[in-house]
Amino acid sequence: MDERQLRILRELGELGSVTAVAEALLVTPSAISQQLRLLQRSIPVPLTERHGRRLVLTDAGQALAGAAVEVETALARARHTVQDFVDRPDGGVSVAAFHSAGAAFFPLLLRALTGPGHPVLALADEDVAQDDFPRLTREYDLVLAHRLDHAPPWPRAVSATTLLREPLDVALPADHPLAAQHRLTPDDVADEPWITVHDGFPVMATIDAIAAAAGRRLRLAHRINEFAVAAEAVAAGGGLALMPRWTSRPHPALVLRPIDGVQARRHIDALHRPERTARKAVRTVLTELRSAARTIQDRDTDGEVTSPRGAGL
C-alpha cells in the first residue's frame, strides 16, 4: 500500500462513491478503481463491498481509512519538518579542504558567516590524492578540491563549482641566481634539485611536464606535501618548488616566478553531491566561497609575481 491508495480509501469512506472520489481527485473513475484493486491485493480481508450500485467500506476498510488519517497527518508533519530543514538559513554545513585552500578560504568563511542567522560551519582539513576528493562528498556538504588545468573532469556523480584557476609558480630563494629573471623556462630549472609532492597529488603532473619540456628527468630531492614546510626547505637551500600564486602565505626569504612552456595552473573546485544544495544553508556557504575566491584573487591586482611568498598545500 502507499499514501495515494490510503487517501483514495479515506475519500471513498467520506464521499460514498468512486465517481465522487474521482471528481475530487481530478482523475478518472477507472484510475480510482485500479488503485483500490491494488490496495486490496495487499490486505487479507475485504476493504469494500457493494450496496446496490454503491461501493462502500467494510469494517476493515473503515479501520484502515481511519489509520490513513494518521498516516497523512504524520507525512504532512514530516514534510513540514524536511522543508524547515531545507529552508533553515542557520543550519549546519560541513566543509572540507586541502591545506592551502583551507588556509586561504576558511578564515574568510568564518569572518563572513559569524553570528545569528548564518550557517553553522564545521570545517575540516583533508590531505588526499586527487582521485580521492569525490568520495569525501559522502562525509561533507562541500569539499574544496584541486586538479590541474588539463586533468580529466570530476566524475558525474558530484557537482563542481570552479572557485579559482590558480597559476603555479616556481619558488626559489630570493638570493638565488634565477631570482633576477622575471620569468623562467623548463631549461632554466631542469638541473636544479626539486622539492615536490608525493605521487597522486596534482602538482606532480606539472613537475613531469617541466621534465618533458626540458627533455631530461628532474632530480626530486625531497617529497613534502605541506607547502608551508616546502617553503622552509626552499628557503634553506633544499631546492626549488612549485607554489600556488594566490593561496600562498608570504615568506620573507622566497620569491615566486612564473614558468613558461608548460601548463602550470590548477583548479580549486567546490565539490558536492547535487542533493546537498537543496539546503539553503549549503547554498549560502557556496555563494560565500565564490565571494572569498574573488577576494583571494584580487589580492594580486598587478598580475606580476614579484613579492616573496610561500604556503601550505
Per-residue pLDDT reduced to its tens digit, 106-130: 999 999 999 889 999 999 999 898 8
For residue 306, tell me if it sits in a domain: no
Question: Are residues 148 and 124 part of one domain?
Answer: yes
For residue 311, tell me if it sits in a domain: no
Kindly give, in sequence order, each residue whose CB lies less than 8 Å from that of residue 7, ignoring residues fewer than 6 positions away.
Answer: 25, 68, 72
With a cut of 70, say whether residue 307 has pLDDT above it: no
With a cut of 60, say whether residue 312 has pLDDT above it: no
- Residue span of the structural domain in which 19 resides: 3-87
Question: Are residues 214 and 136 part of one domain?
Answer: yes
Question: Are residues 42 and 123 part of one domain?
Answer: no
Scored b (16 or more CB within 10 A) or e, 133-172 reads bbebbeebbbbbbbbbbeeeebeeebbbbebbebbbbbbb
Question: Are residues 253 and 178 part of one domain?
Answer: yes
With a cut of 60, say whether residue 306 has pLDDT above it: no
Question: Are residues 286 and 157 part of one domain?
Answer: yes
Residue 170's CATH number: 3.40.190.290
Residues of the chain above pLDDT 90, percent: 55
> Among the three residues 48, 70, 87, which one is the final residue of a domain in this structure?
87
For residue 310, tell me if it sits in a domain: no
For residue 313, tell me if it sits in a domain: no
With a cut of 90, say whether residue 14 has pLDDT above it: no
The pLDDT of residue 305 is 41
Per-residue pLDDT reduced to its tens digit, 23-66: 888 899 899 889 889 888 888 898 888 887 778 888 898 888 88
Per-residue pLDDT reduced to its tens digit, 65-80: 888 878 877 777 777 7
- For residue 301, give the DSSP letter: -
> Among the three residues 34, 63, 87, which one is the final residue of a domain in this structure?
87
How far CA 165 is from CA of 9, 187, 247, 257, in Å, comes to 59, 25, 11, 17
Cα 261 to the chain's mean position, in Å? 32
The mean pLDDT of 200-218, rounded to a whole number, is: 91
> Among the three residues 22, 52, 87, which one is the final residue of a domain in this structure?
87
Question: Are residues 74 and 44 part of one domain?
Answer: yes
For residue 312, tell me if it sits in a domain: no
For residue 128, tell me if it sits in a domain: yes
Residue 45's CATH number: 1.10.10.10
Question: Are residues 167 and 63 part of one domain?
Answer: no
For residue 234, tell me if it sits in a domain: yes
Question: Are residues 69 and 8 part of one domain?
Answer: yes
- Total of domains in the chain: 2
Question: Are residues 102 and 50 part of one domain?
Answer: no
Question: Are residues 205 and 109 part of one domain?
Answer: yes
Question: Are residues 43 and 141 part of one domain?
Answer: no
For residue 78, tell me if it sits in a domain: yes
